[in-house]
Amino acid sequence: MASMSFFDAVHRLWAETMAGFWRGGDLGSLLGAVNHDQQLKRRFVEDPGAVLAERGVRLPEGITLKVLENTSTTLHLVLPPLVTLDESTEAAK
C-alpha cells in the first residue's frame, strides 16, 4: 500500500470512523460527559482510543488521536504538518 498523506489520513479518519459518531450525537454526548466527569475526562485525555472503543468507535489502523484540554491559562493551537511540494502537487490533481 502506498504511503498515505496527512490529508488522506485525516479524510479517512473522519469519513470512515467519526462520521457516524457525529451523526448519532455520540461525540457531543461524550464531550458533554467529560465536562461533568473528571475521571472520564482524565481517561479520554490519556487514552482517547480506548474511550472511543468503549463506545463502539475504532480508530483506523495507523491513526493516533490526541486530546488536549484548554485551561484558563493555556490554549492549544494545532498546526498541520508541512506540505511538501510533491504532496501539494498531488493534491491539486
Q: Could you tell me the residue ranges of all domains in the chain?
A: 6-92
pLDDT tens digit string along 25-39? Answer: 577 788 888 989 999
Please tell me the distance from the alpha carbon of residue 32 to that of residue 41, in angstroms, as a whole number: 10
* Listed residue (86, 16, 3) closest to 57, CA to CA: 16
Q: Coil, strand or helix: which one is 90?
A: helix
In the numeric block, the cell 502506498 is attached to 2
Please tell me the distance from the alpha carbon of residue 82 to that of residue 7, in angstroms, as a whole number: 11
Please tell me the distance from the alpha carbon of residue 45 to that of residue 55, in angstroms, as a whole number: 15
pLDDT tens digit string along 84-93? Answer: 776 555 555 5
